[in-house]
Amino acid sequence: MDRCFFDFDNGRASRDEEGTEFLDLKGARLAAVKMLGQLLCDRNASFWDEPEFGLTVRDDADLILMRLTVIGTLAPATQ
């Protein structure tokens, strides 16, 4: 498999220009879940400021391979 690029979007898009090489798509999938989880951990205090966060993984030809999206929804009773 070729290089994969991980683009983040939380209201402000961040495009990966370097990419990472993987042996197969399964490795890229695992890395995407880990990356998104780590970003959520790092942003735990500010997550609710913009409670939608996405990660798009694309290949060298800009073909989208997968997208992970996390959406936080507060219950009306907590507002």
Question: pLDDT digit string (tens) for 49-62?
Answer: 877 889 999 999 99
pLDDT at 69: 94
pTM score above 0.75: yes
Measured between alpha carbons, how far is 7 from 56 in angstroms, rounded to an integer?
Answer: 5
Measured between alpha carbons, how far is 64 from 27 in angstroms, rounded to an integer?
Answer: 16
pLDDT at 13: 82
- 10-residue averages of pLDDT along the chain (79 residues): 89 90 94 92 81 91 95 84
Secondary structure of 18-74 in HEC code, one letter for each residue = CCEECCCHHHHHHHHHHHHHHHHHHCCCCHHHCCEEEEEEECCCCCEEEEEEEECCC
CB atoms within 10 A of CB 56: 19
